[in-house]
Structure 1
Amino acid sequence: MAHDTRIAADTVQPAGILPEVFREAVAQADVAISITDTAATILYVNPGFERVTGYSLAEARGQNQSLLSAKTTPPAVYTQLWATIGKGEPWSGRLVNRRRDGSEYLADLMITPVRDGDGRVANYLGIHRDITELHRLECQVCNQKALIESVVDSAPLAMALLDGERRVVLDNLQYKKLTSELGVGEAAKIILDAVRAEHGDTLGVPRDGAQAFADREIRIDREGGKAPRWFSCTGTWVRSVNAATYAFFGARDSIYLLLIAKEITQQRAQQEQARMAALQAMMAEENRVSGLRESLSAALFHMEGPMNVLASVVAMQGRRGQHDPTAAALGEALRAGQQALDTLRRATPDLIGESVSAANINELLRDVLDLATVRLLRAGIMVTWKPQATLPVIYGRPVRLRSMFKALVDNAIDAMNTKGWQRRELTVVTRSRAGSVEVLIEDSGPGIPPALHLKAFEPFFTTNPGGVRHAGTGLSMAQQVVADHEGIIEIDADYDSGCRMRVALPCQRENF
């Protein structure tokens, strides 16, 4: 390579400008340049060297390059430096130097061996610049980064920075702890799914500094009977400068989502206690009304059959022209019976009026299980609660839905609460399907024979001797509620370990 350079120089030199250009380039370079022999004795320095070190050419010539050492650079650095250039290889690194006035500075140094025509190292070319201020800024950035990380990690908030693919690129200790505790995948995905499910797709258009959503309260349900957890979540769009070389002159910055989740479970727990107390009172009243409706409906059902027969007899006698005292008595009995039926119908309370609103199926089922705790414990039933952490919102009538699920759970308890029945297990599962929410309620009772799967939904039909707790209206009521919500309810014919009820409710909008 040295031979090639010499040829190129010979080619240009007839013009008489190459040596002069080299001299002027070195003299005017805004970096410190020095040339030494192989013993590091200075032979030449440029004006840039004097500006950086304070030593002129006259003062530096003949001195060893070590006159710049501040004596604080570790000896191992110099050992590695000499080992490298001694092999004829270039070396670069940082040294702590001292100027002529005694002040120290950090030098970013590059040393290149210069070979003679025979290929032997004859000189060393040193180029260095003062990077003291750059180093100070680097340390300041590192210190600020460490300080920010310390503050963020100690904050009682879960924080995560998500890229355009919703992947977590930065997080704090509280977020890592939350992800570990939830145990159902990345916490950020669960939180965003819950925000979308409970509040709609509110992320909006990414814009630096804008909030995607603010103070959104979400509920995350957990398996194994663990209490749900509540969080207040905020998402803010953050711009990040693209450090890639190709983006230096282009506006190709990235937008990230800063997700912050503050746990409010303790605060919500107090609210939940008050809500459950009110719910128990409401359910007690609803049970009273439902029991009265059920009793009166059963009476009507059982009376309407004989009354229909009596009406047929009276009509037949009328067609035959019979007007004996017996026919008159039968007619009078028919009129009295119809009046009694009308009185029962008027006495039957109407369903409690309820408007359509958003319903969290996990919350409704959790309410039902909490309300049934006493019965479950008395019956010795082991409950397995398997909720999907977050579910899409169902728009419907929460009170009726809760009553429907309670009827299904009550039926399951009744089925297992039989004297001598050993295996008593209740499993409740929720999961989202395409456009719907599915609920499975499984019990380990005797089950319902396949031939009765359809008949079980008929009013006043029951497989319990004596009609335990209900007069056979539980499943018919449940079917009506599900139908009103445009859903599906069925008994799983493939389940052979008891009975599995499957309910599927569509994720409808508010115009339900």
Structure 2
Amino acid sequence: MSRPDQPAVAGLTDTIPTSEGVLPARLFFEAVEQSSVAISITDTRANILYANPAFERVTGYGVAEVVGRNESILSDRHTPSLVYETLWGRLRQLKPWSGVLVNRRKDGSRYLAELNIAPVLDGQGQLSHYLGMHRDVTEMHRLEQQVRNQKALIESVVDAEPVAIALLDEAGQVVLGNQAYKQLAGDMGGREPAREFLTALAESMGDALETARSTEQGFVDQEVQFDPGGGRAPRWFSCSGTWFKENDASADSFFEARKASYLVLVTKEVTEIRRQQEAMRMNALRALTAEGELVESMRETLAGAIYQMQGPVNMIAAATQLLARRRQGEADPLLNVLQEALDAGRQALQTLEDSMPEARDEPVAPVNINALLREVLGLSTRRLLAAGVVVDWQPAPVLPNVLGREGRLRGMFKQLVDNALDALDSATDGRREIRILTESRGDAVHVTIQDSGPGIPEHLRLRVFEPFVSTKGRSGRAGMGLPMVQEVVNQHAGLIEIDPGCHDGCRVRLQFPTAARRQDSN
């Protein structure tokens, strides 16, 4: 039935044909009457002919108050005129319009109306009425704006932070980064800082990183090194991270909640602090290296003397045994002299062996080859500058650690750099360059040290690792440098070779298994 304040609607006893049969017209009327959306029907001049109860609840106007009046009674000056012009432009084209208007209720209060207006055409396709439906979205807009404001506030605070902050999804992709992070990405030549840091953290923290992720405990103040190469100094960063879970906002998780995991990575550059610490450490390292080189020099000298004496002593021992067999126990002054010489020689060898300084005992620990090579270049800076040598330093930005004795590895690389400098001292073409390259391939760390010196003759490329074999002729000393390098390489399960394909100077290639590989093999 019609409401007392609602004009009677003719034809409600009629039926409306559908694809499934016929439906009573009253059903459509009651559906509109009971709808929670404010619905009104107007003539072509926007004069209201019908309004449902929801219209009264939204606007405050009773049906009797609006029927016959124009829809403009709801208009408010806070809606720009351009919006109304666009609205009527669409309707004149007999096209529907949807949008948001600022409307005014009967009591004068404003609200946001999400409005849909559709032209109603008669049987001849001529405009006869307009159908309008709208709902109050003021509260929804307030909540959306509040979320936007909070997001803007958070982003402003995060952007103002002097540390780089990035939000990563489960796939490790950066979802959000502040200005400091974007600047850092630019400084790193297009490489994704978060990916580089996580790779370095995985190397330094090992299983602890996965444990921190699975337990959502995070990690704090984990330092990583990034080496940009190109002659630029390395940079150090202190990284902290926290994982959290967020409810999935997709439609699929409306009834069945799903959570997505994110990582907040906070990175603070500590390069300046590390440089100060590094300067103090390098001074101490120079003193320690000088002492170590003195000890190694003594070991080399004594090892050389032992090696040189061992030959004659062995010959005397052989001659003594041969003469003793011939004499078959008969007294022989020559045999006595030989035996005395042999005893004296063996005693001298024993004295030399007892005088050999013991190698410093070092624990086996993860070692960063990039850091060691940079230390070696720092220790050799004065000699490099004095000789006018250009160093082409090309480190891998992030290099896996190797398991080893740091001091022995440092001494080994120092020996190779010193050999390269010695070779450049005899260079004649005027080009004085040392190229050092590190890279990670598979489960191994590769190091290349190349100089532009005269190179090593092909027949000596294998023999240089033998004791007292030198490429320097009479002008240099035939020491134990490369044999000791070979010994250190062997101790670290590595490989070393003189590249036969290098015809421009000498190129030494070294390979060491990563710490992860050696730990797995053990």
Q: Which residue of 1 aligns with 2:312?
A: 306
> Matched residues in 2 for 1:479 and 1:10: separation?
92
Partner secondary structure for residue 515 of structure 2: coil
Q: 1:262 to 1:211 in 2, by over 3 A?
A: farther
> Matched residues in 2 for 1:243 and 1:119: separation?
44
Contact kept in structure 1, 2:235 and 2:269, CA below 8 Å? yes
Superposed counterparts of 1:196-211, under 5 Å: 196-204=202-210, 210-211=216-217
Q: Which runs of 5+ in 2 are unaligned?
A: 1-14
- Among candidates 478, 489, 495, match of residue 502 of structure 2: 495
Residues 72-131 of structure 1: per-residue CA shift (max 9 Å, x gap) = 211111111011111211110011111111111111111011122222111111111111
Q: Which residue of 1 aligns with 2:164?
A: 158
Q: Does 2:486 align with 1:479?
A: yes
Which deviates the most, 151-160 or 78-87? Answer: 151-160
- Among candidates 9, 15, 18, match of residue 8 of structure 1: 18
Q: Which residue of 2 aligns with 1:223?
A: 229
> Matched residues in 2 for 1:6 and 1:184: separation?
67
Superposed counterparts of 1:460-471, under 5 Å: 460-466=468-474, 468=476, 471=478
Amino acid at match of 1:275: R
Q: Does 2:103 align with 1:97?
A: yes
Q: Tell me the TM-score normalized by structure 2.
A: 0.91
> Matched residues in 2 for 1:171 and 1:45: separation?
51
Superposed counterparts of 1:216-295, under 5 Å: 216-295=222-301
Q: 1:50 to 1:234 in 2, by over 3 A?
A: same
> Matched residues in 1 for 2:215 and 2:120: separation?
54
Q: 1:380 to 1:121 in 2, by over 3 A?
A: same
> Matched residues in 1 for 2:420 and 2:57: separation?
91
- Among candidates 65, 69, 74, match of residue 63 of structure 1: 69
Contact kept in structure 1, 2:201 and 2:209, CA below 8 Å? no
Displacement, 1:163? 2.4
> Matched residues in 2 for 1:211 and 1:446: separation?
57
Q: 1:318 to 1:208 in 2, by over 3 A?
A: closer
Q: Which residue of 2 aligns with 1:335?
A: 343
Percent identity among equivalent residues? 50
Partner secondary structure for residue 30 of structure 1: coil
Contact kept in structure 2, 1:206 and 1:255, CA below 8 Å? no
Moved over 6 A (4+): 205-209
> Matched residues in 1 for 2:439 and 2:427: separation?
33
Which deviates the most, 246-255 or 429-438? Answer: 246-255
Displacement, 1:207? 6.8
Q: Does 2:385 align with 1:356?
A: no
Amino acid at match of 1:407: Q
Q: 1:126 to 1:9 in 2, by over 3 A?
A: farther
Partner secondary structure for residue 55 of structure 1: coil
Which deviates the most, 501-510 or 52-61? Answer: 501-510
Displacement, 1:395? 1.1
Contact kept in structure 2, 1:68 and 1:98, CA below 8 Å? yes
> Matched residues in 2 for 1:143 and 1:489: separation?
62
Q: 1:298 to 1:9 in 2, by over 3 A?
A: closer
Contact kept in structure 1, 2:403 and 2:514, CA below 8 Å? yes
Displacement, 1:31? 2.1
Contact kept in structure 2, 1:298 and 1:471, CA below 8 Å? no
Q: 1:7 to 1:20 in 2, by over 3 A?
A: closer
- Among candidates 74, 84, 92, match of residue 78 of structure 1: 84
Contact kept in structure 1, 2:43 and 2:49, CA below 8 Å? yes
Partner secondary structure for residue 508 of structure 2: strand
Contact kept in structure 2, 1:208 and 1:239, CA below 8 Å? no
- Among candidates 425, 428, 436, match of residue 436 of structure 2: 428
Which deviates the most, 325-334 or 156-165? Answer: 325-334
Residues 226-279 of structure 1: per-residue CA shift (max 9 Å, x gap) = 221111212322323333333322333322222221212222222212221221
Residues 160-216 of structure 1: per-residue CA shift (max 9 Å, x gap) = 222232222221211111122122621111111101111214442797991343322
Superposed counterparts of 1:31-46, under 5 Å: 31-46=37-52
Q: Which residue of 2 aligns with 1:453?
A: 461
Q: Which residue of 1 aligns with 2:132?
A: 126
Displacement, 1:441? 0.5
Displacement, 1:27? 2.2
Partner secondary structure for residue 362 of structure 1: helix
Q: 1:40 to 1:243 in 2, by over 3 A?
A: same
Q: 1:455 to 1:198 in 2, by over 3 A?
A: same
Which deviates the most, 304-313 or 149-158? Answer: 304-313
Which deviates the most, 243-252 or 188-197? Answer: 243-252
Q: 1:209 to 1:433 in 2, by over 3 A?
A: closer
> Matched residues in 1 for 2:47 and 2:209: separation?
67
**RMSD, aligned α-carbons:** 2.3
Q: Which runs of 5+ in 1 are unaligned?
A: none
> Matched residues in 2 for 1:9 and 1:263: separation?
71
Amino acid at match of 1:437: V
Q: 1:466 to 1:204 in 2, by over 3 A?
A: same
Which deviates the most, 79-88 or 211-220? Answer: 211-220
> Matched residues in 2 for 1:351 and 1:472: separation?
18
> Matched residues in 2 for 1:9 and 1:503: separation?
82
Amino acid at match of 1:435: D
Superposed counterparts of 1:434-445, under 5 Å: 434-445=442-453
Partner secondary structure for residue 18 of structure 2: helix
Displacement, 1:326? 4.8
Q: Does 2:413 align with 1:405?
A: yes
Contact kept in structure 2, 1:197 and 1:390, CA below 8 Å? no
Amino acid at match of 1:416: L
> Matched residues in 1 for 2:419 and 2:331: separation?
51
> Matched residues in 2 for 1:208 and 1:251: separation?
20
Q: Does 2:107 align with 1:107?
A: no
Partner secondary structure for residue 132 of structure 2: strand
Contact kept in structure 2, 1:492 and 1:499, CA below 8 Å? yes
> Matched residues in 2 for 1:244 and 1:165: separation?
18
Amino acid at match of 2:438: T
Q: 1:333 to 1:184 in 2, by over 3 A?
A: farther
